[in-house]
Amino acid sequence: MIKDIFGTDNCMVKLIFIFLLVFSCGGFAQNSATGPHIEVSLVSETSQLSIGKTHWIGIILNPEQGWHTYWLNPGDSGEAPKIEWHSDAIEFGNIQWPIPKAIEVAHLVNYGYEGRTLLMVPITLKEQSLPHATIKADLSWLVCKEDCIPGWAKLELDLPIVPTGQSIDYSDHQALFEQTRLRLANKPFIEAKFELSESHIALQMAWPYQSNWQIFPFRGDVIQHNAAQDWTQSQDVAQLVLPLSDYFSSQPDSLKFLLSDGGSGYYVNALPNSPDFIRTDNTASKPIWVILVFAFLGGLILNIMPCVLPVLSMKALALSSTECKSHWGYPLGVIISFWLFAAVVISLKAAGSAVGWGFHLQEPLLIAALAFLFTFIAMMLWDLLPPSVNMSGIGHSLTQGSSFFSQFFTGVLAVIVASPCTAPFMATALGVAMLSPAFETWLVFTALAVGFALPMTLLPMSSHFAKLLPKPGAWMETFKHFLGFPMIATVVWLVWVFLSQTSSMGQLWLLSGLLLFALFIWLSSKMGRPFSYIFMLMAVGIATLSSMKGTHITSDDQQLGSDQFSEQKLSQLRNENHVVVVNMTADWCITCKVNEQVAFKDDALKALFEEGDIDYLVGDWTNKNTTILNYLKQYQRSGVPLYIVYAGNHSKQILPQVLTPEIVIDAIYEARKEINNATSN
C-alpha cells in the first residue's frame, strides 16, 4: 500500500511522513498537530466564551525556517489552507487573511506566509445552555520550501461558556491575536477601475498614501503573477498595467485585490472602467422601487426649477383667471413627451450607442436652439412680443387657453424646457434608466413624468387646490416680468456650454444671433402688418443662420505638438509621404493615459517628433464621434486605445495596446526607412 502511493523512492522519509500523517489525522484529536516541517494548532483569544459577543479563534500555522504556507490565492502554484469547522453551538465567520508576501520560486511567484501565521476567524455562540463548547476543525494545508508537502489534521478545542455579563479572561495567545490584527488589511474596500485589452489589464485607483505598493489578486486567473508591477501616476490617481493571466477567460463584473506596501494593506474592489456618462457608481445596486420613488420626487422638484417655473407659473396664472374644462391635456402632454424621450433612449441603446440624459445637450445645434427658445420666452414674459404671439409659449393657439390641445402642448413645452435642469438633479435615476432593460427605463421615465405633471394637474382639479392659488391682480404682471430673469440666466448657461462645444468664434456667432433675434422680434412688435411678419421671419432666419454657423466652427484647441485627427488630414499627410503617428485616445481610457505617460512623454520620442518629417495625429474619443468610430472599425476595433504608424502610403504598423517609447521610436524608424527605400528606388 505504502509503496503504491509513494513509489519506491525515499521510502524511509515517506514512512516517517505516513507516520506523522497518521499521528496528526488519528482519532485522538487535540488542539495541535505536527506535520513535516510545520506545526499547526487551534487557539482561542479568550479562555471562555459568552453569548452575544464576537469571539476570535484561529489556526496557527508555524512552518520551519525557510518553509511557507499560502494566502487565499496561492499564485502560480501551491494551495491555500482549508478549514472545515464543526460545532453545534457556534457560528463561524470567514478567515481574516493576514497580508501575504510574494515568494519567488524560479520564474514563478507564490503569495504566502513565512514564519508563524495566525488565521483568525470570528465566532458567535448560538446556545448558552451548554456548559462548554467544542470546536472541531478539519484542517488541510500545503507547506513548501521548493518542494511541497501537504498535510491534514483534525484539531479540537474545548472552551467553557460563561453567562452574559461575567468577565472573560484572555488566553496566552491574546498577544498573537493582537499582533495579527496589525497584519490585516484595512476595510472598507478602496474603489478602483479596471480595463481589459486583448493581452493586458489596466487598473486605476487612488492610493491611500505614497508608498511602494504591490497588488495581490483574489483570483488566481487574472494577472500574470510574475510580472513586475510598475505604477504610473497622474494627478491623484495611480495606474498599473499588467499582462493578463493565460487562464483568464470570462469578463468579470468586479475584481478584488489586496494592495500592500509590506506594512499595511488595503482591500480594493475594481469595477469595469466605462466612459463617465454611463457610469452608475453605487446606484446599480438600489432596488427599482427606490429609484422610481426618487424619479417621482425628482419630477416634483422639477416644477420649481428656474427653467420650468416661469412657464408653469404663467400657466397657473392663466388657469386661475379662466374656467378650465379639460384636466387631462397637461399630464398627457408631459407623459407622452417623457415616453417619446424614453423611446429614443431605448432605441439608441438598442443601436449600441451609450447615451446619457442630457446627451442631446452634447449636440451644439440643440444648445443654440434652446438658447433662442429661452430668449424668446424671456421676451414674452417682458411683453416684448408682437400682439399676435402674445403671452403663450409657442404660438397662442398651442398653449394658451384651456382647451385640451393647449394644455397638451403646455405639457410638451414644459418637458422641453425642463431638460437643461434635469441633468444635475436626476443623475441617479436617469443613470440607472440608461443602463437598465427597456422596461425599467420606461418605468423610470414614467415615474419622472407623473411627478412632474402632478402639481399642475391637481391645481385646477379641485376647488380646494384652486383656492391655494393667489388672486389675480396687478402683481401678476410684475411677477411675470421678474420671471424673465431666470430665463436669461438659463440662456447665459447655455451660451457658456456652447463655448465648450465649439469655439469662441462660434460663441460670438450665437451671441450676435441672439442679439439680432431679440432686435427683430422687438421691431416686429413695434411694426404693423406686413412688416411685423417680415421681421418675425427675419428673426427666425437669423436664429437658424447663426446657430448653424456657430456650430460649425468647432474647437481648435489641441494638444501641444499634435494635430486633431481627421481622415482628410491623414490621407493628405500620407500622400505627402510623411511618417504619421495616429493615437486614438479618450479621457476615460486608463490604458491610454498610462501609454501617454510612459511612451509619449519620453524625451527621445519628443525630440524625434520635433524633427519635422513626423506628424502626430490625436483622435479624442472622450465623446463618441462617428469619424473616429469608423476609423476604429477599419481596424476591427470597437474601442481605444489604437496606435498606428504610417509610412506614407507604403505601409502601416499597428502598435500593441501597451506601449513603450522604444516601440513607438522603432516603428517610426521603420516607417522612415521604408519611405527612404521607396523614394530612392
Partner 1 sequence: MQRLIKWFVITTFFAPAMSMAAAKIDAIAPDFTLQDSYGKTVTLSDFKGKYVVLEWTNHLCPYVKKHYGSDNMQSLQRKYTQQDVVWLSVISSAKGKQGHVDANKANDLTKTRNASPSHVLFDESGAVGRLYKAKTTPHMYIINPEGKLSYAGAIDSIKSANPADIPKATNYVVSSLTNLLAGKAINKKITKPYGCSIKYKS
Q: Which residues bind partner 1 (CB under 8 A)?
A: 3-10, 76-79, 82, 105-108, 110, 140, 142, 144, 146-150, 152, 220-221, 227-228, 230, 243, 245-247, 249, 656, 658, 660, 662-663
CA distance 665 to 385: 65
| Distance in angstroms (rounded) separating the CA atoms of residues 597 and 665 | 15
Q: Can you say how many angstroms the Cα of residue 426 is from the centroid of all Cα atoms in its chain?
A: 17
Give the C-alpha separation, 75 to 592, whole Å: 28
CB of 42 to partner 1, least distance (A): 20
How many CB atoms within 10 Å of residue 528?
7
Q: From the CB of 258, what's the least distance to partner 1, in Å? A: 18
What 3-state DSSP class applies to 502?
A: coil
Burial class (CB in 10 A: 0-12, 13-18, 19+), 168: middle
**From the CB of 229, what's the least distance to partner 1, in Å?**
9
Identify which of residues 78 and 298 has a Cβ nearer to partner 1 in the complex: 78
The Cα 114–Cα 548 span in angstroms is: 70
Bridge partners for 259 per DSSP: 215, 266
Residue 292 host element (H or E): helix 288-302
Whole-number minimum distance, CB 629 to partner 1, in Å? 28
Shortest gap between Cβ of 250 and partner 1 (angstroms)? 11
Nearer to partner 1, 249 or 626 (CB): 249
How many angstroms separate the CA atoms of 592 and 583, rounded?
Answer: 9
User: To the nearest whole angstrom, how small is the minimum distance from the Cβ of residue 363 to partner 1?
Assistant: 41
Residue 467 has φ and ψ, to the nearest 5°, of -65, -25
Task: Return the H-helix or E-strand segment holding 344.
Answer: helix 329-350
The most distant pair of C-alpha atoms in the chain lies apart, rounded to whole Å, by: 117
CB of 417 to partner 1, least distance (A): 55
User: For partner 1, which is the closer residue by CB, 151 or 298?
Assistant: 151
**CA–CA dist 91, 83 (Å, integer):** 14
Alpha helices for 91-160 (secondary structure H): none
Alpha-carbon span 115 to 433, nearest angstrom = 52
CB of residue 110 to partner 1, shortest distance in Å: 7
Q: Which is nearer to partner 1, 142 or 483 (CB)?
A: 142
Compare residues 1 and 350 and give the one whose CB is closer to partner 1.
1
CB nearer to partner 1: give 152 or 425: 152
Query: β-strand 265-272 against 186-196: which pairing, if any?
Result: parallel
Query: DSSP for 267-291?
Result: EEEEEE---GGG--GGGGGS-HHHH
Q: Which is nearer to partner 1, 247 or 533 (CB)?
A: 247
Minimal distance, residue 11 CB to partner 1, in Å: 12
